[in-house]
Structure 1
Amino acid sequence: MSMNPAAATTETIWADFHRELLAFIRRRVTDPDAAQDLLQDVFVKIHLKLPTLTYADKLTSWVYQITRNRILDYQKAQRGLVELEGDIPDVADPTELNPGFAPCITPFVDQLPAASREALLRTELGALSQKDYAAELGISYSGAKSRVQRAKQQLHQLFTACCRMKVDGCRAAALEAQPRHQCGCTAARSCAS
């Protein structure tokens, strides 16, 4: 490298290393898009950690160590992924899992804050996909997903604070619910088998 390590900035490291690092990553990661993403991740890490570099003469080994660590993290994450074939729905319809149980959650859905209640009623318990819901509200898809997830967590907390569920372990389908204590819950009593 022709760079003076003492004058290293993210820009100079990019100029001197990015082609070599991309080639280094591509030899270990076959997906070209993933390799580009990893290169960007590496340079974010370099930018954030550059002030901690104590020995400027170790710059090259430091840069390559960051790159190796990021590749290893990526490869570990990939080992846990299994590609599934066929059309798999994003979210199972709760009424398909146990048609008699869906009405039991209505009193709890009614207790949710308005935004959470609407998110569940329009998506999980309604007909809209989360993408369509995001477009309808004019928010990002990830924002809509977060809103729905938060609503599901709130619903779960309300329900489990009041009721004990018996769950089918294979499908995670609720089989029955019974009140935990005298919470005044009529939903669990009407849904118990």
Structure 2
Amino acid sequence: MVEGNTFECVLRAWDAHERELLAFLILRAPDRHAAEDLLQEVFLKAMRQGKGFCLLGNQKAWLFEVARNALIDAARLAKPHAELSGELTETLAAPPASERGPVDELDVCVERNLPALDAEDRHIIEVCDLQGQTVRAYAEANQLTLAAAKSRLLRARKRLRHSLVVNCQVRFDDTGQVCCHTPRPPA
């Protein structure tokens, strides 16, 4: 579980550099909405680093490097791609279960714990995290400010995370990454 100090460490760095990161992304992204979406990705990556982020010597440099990489990835995805043949697509479709990482194997636990959240938490996680809607679009659709929507999503993710730790015995390594879990059978 991410300790309070780790969470606060990431938030302090985020508060100190969020505006600069957004300005950096706005200058390079196709539009402001794309820049804001990329900014959210950078924030999520910082949160996933957990203790590892707090131990970095230059958190600002790390954030800007992740932002630059996010821009590059977005540009690559925007390029047109040729369709793969059916046989090759089937071969590449999904890795064998034995090659799935610990985080990927949490899907069953998430499916079991998501319905246990209150309706508001469940809705924002389903819409933003599972269906891929931007936080900005969620905020507009639900008559919320962007800040309120971001805060709501962050709190919902925290509650889901706590539920996964308790119900699936999720454990984290020294860098804050999911290392393993032991799902409890459904009650």
Q: Which category of TM-score, normalised to the shorter sequence, fits these structures?
A: 0.3 to 0.5
Compare relative contact order (CA 8 Å, sep 6+) and give the higher one, 1 or 2. 2
Which entry has the higher C-alpha Rg, 1 or 2?
1
Q: TM-score, normalised to structure 1's length?
A: 0.43
The structure richer in helix per residue is 2
